[in-house]
């Protein structure tokens, strides 16, 4: 572990801070305690560290939620951040809720968004926050592979004795991801309307045409003008289905369904779960693709 702490002080863009204080240094058992901020990051981190007994990966936020915009850290969250040897985060503004906690922590931070071409954030009508970039970067296999690579590179520099293990696990996880060309062909150019703003990268990667995305939360339902626009788009493009997020509100979507006759299907942002490794992520992504293929024909 002495090598790990020394390496932390040499990191560049991927990692920040070094020389962790006594409260966050590895325990006497020699285990490296890694804190992943969100479920997708947790899945990627456990994939890269699979089979390494000296690694302990924990998850900070694991709630059935479709949005972290208004998340507030709990006392338990603060203790988890304080006790972490390494923090792995999504980046791209998703974890704005923990800026103060990160500023107070000396643990090295791996930012999974490094090197990813970020898309501008979609509008958040009715919200009191302003995000420059869309942080839902994990919703494409291409971005997920880069996130895995960032984790592999970061941990390899922090823990060089196990760099080959991280590299091997990264390769295995990357190989597990891949689009079915027949399904992509079926999706190409299909119009997509979602009641969550997190499917922009997904649509770009799969060839879907994202016509409208509304982040609908309690107190921020779609406006009359937005509903009218969606109804018009459904008629113009002869859209057979619209999509909500499994943990989000579907009230407006159901009302539009009753008015237009289109069906309502659910997609998964993969923000919560109880699995580890890359397979739960791949399963959820494939289910999303299958759902859209079925819904849009």
Express each pLDDT in 16-52 by its tens digit: 333 333 333 445 578 999 999 999 999 999 999 999 9
**204-209: average pLDDT:** 97
Return the top range by mean pLDDT from 129-138, 201-210, 244-253.
201-210
Per-residue pLDDT at 202 exceeds 70: yes
pLDDT at 297: 83
| 192 in the same domain as 46 | no
* Burial annotation 146-155 (CB, 10 A radius, 16+ → b, else e): bbbbbbbbbb
Which of 145, 175, 205 terminates a domain? The answer is 175
Which of the four pLDDT bands, split at 50, 70 and 90, describes residue 2? very low
pLDDT at 152: 98
How far apart are the C-alpha atoms of 247 and 268, rounded to whole Å? 8
| 220 in the same domain as 248 | yes
Residue 53 tokens read as 């007994």
| 287 in the same domain as 168 | no
**155-159: average pLDDT:** 97
Question: 33-42, 65-74, 134-143, 200-209: which has the minimum mean pLDDT?
Answer: 65-74
Count the domains in the chain. Answer: 2
Which of 120, 145, 175 terminates a domain? The answer is 175
Which of 144, 159, 175 terminates a domain? The answer is 175
Structure-token match 């006594």, residue found: 22
Question: 17-21, 174-178, 199-203, 204-208: which has the minimum mean pLDDT?
Answer: 17-21
| 191 in the same domain as 167 | no
| 240 in the same domain as 150 | no
Q: What is the CATH number of the domain that holds 261?
A: 3.40.50.1980
Q: How many percent of the chain have pLDDT more than 70?
A: 85
Helix (H, G, I), strand (E, B) or coil at 153: helix
| 220 in the same domain as 168 | no
| 208 in the same domain as 121 | no
| 211 in the same domain as 74 | no
Is 200 exposed, middle or buried, given 0-12, 13-18 or 19+ CB atoms closer than 10 A? buried
Residue 195 tokens read as 């009641």
pLDDT in tens, 210-269: 999 987 665 567 789 999 999 999 999 999 999 999 988 899 999 999 999 999 999 999
| 239 in the same domain as 101 | no
Given a contact cutoff of 8 angstroms between Cβ atoms, the answer to whether 118 and 138 are in contact is no
| 278 in the same domain as 211 | yes
pLDDT at 9: 37
pLDDT at 293: 97
Which of the four pLDDT bands, split at 50, 70 and 90, describes residue 71? confident
Range(s) of the domain holding residue 159: 2-175
| 105 in the same domain as 9 | yes
Dihedral angle, C-alpha 116, 119, 125, 129, nearest 10 °: 40
How many angstroms separate the Cα of 270 from the Cα of each of 37, 87, 88, 177? 13, 20, 17, 15
| 199 in the same domain as 162 | no
């Amino acid at each position: 572990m002495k090598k790990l702490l020394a390496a932390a002080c040499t990191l560049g863009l991927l990692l920040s801070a070094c020389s962790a204080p006594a409260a966050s240094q590895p325990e006497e058992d020699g285990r490296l305690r890694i804190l992943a901020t969100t479920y997708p990051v947790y899945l990627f981190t456990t994939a890269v560290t699979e089979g390494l007994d000296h690694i302990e990966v924990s998850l900070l936020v694991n709630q059935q939620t479709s949005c972290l915009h208004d998340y507030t850290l709990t006392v338990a969250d603060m203790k988890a951040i304080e006790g972490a040897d390494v923090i792995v985060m999504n980046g791209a503004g998703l974890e704005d809720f923990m800026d103060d906690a990160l500023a107070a922590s000396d643990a090295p931070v791996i930012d999974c968004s490094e090197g990813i071409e970020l898309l501008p954030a979609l509008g958040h009508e009715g919200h009191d926050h302003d995000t420059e970039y869309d942080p839902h970067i994990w919703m494409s296999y291409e971005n997920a592979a880069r996130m895995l690579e960032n984790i592999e590179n970061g941990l390899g520099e922090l823990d060089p004795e196990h760099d080959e293990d991280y590299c091997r696990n990264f390769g295995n996880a990357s190989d597990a991801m891949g689009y079915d060309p027949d399904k992509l062909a079926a999706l190409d150019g299909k119009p997509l309307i979602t009641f969550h703003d997190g499917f922009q990268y997904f649509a770009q990667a799969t060839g879907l045409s994202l016509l409208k995305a509304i982040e609908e939360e309690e107190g921020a339902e779609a406006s009359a003008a937005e509903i009218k626009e969606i109804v018009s788009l459904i008629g113009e493009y002869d859209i057979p289905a619209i999509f909500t997020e499994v943990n989000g509100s579907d009230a407006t979507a159901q009302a539009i369904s009753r008015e237009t006759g289109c069906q309502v299907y659910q997609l998964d942002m993969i923000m919560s779960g109880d699995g580890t490794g890359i397979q739960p992520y791949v399963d959820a992504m494939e289910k999303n693709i299958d759902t859209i293929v079925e819904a849009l024909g």
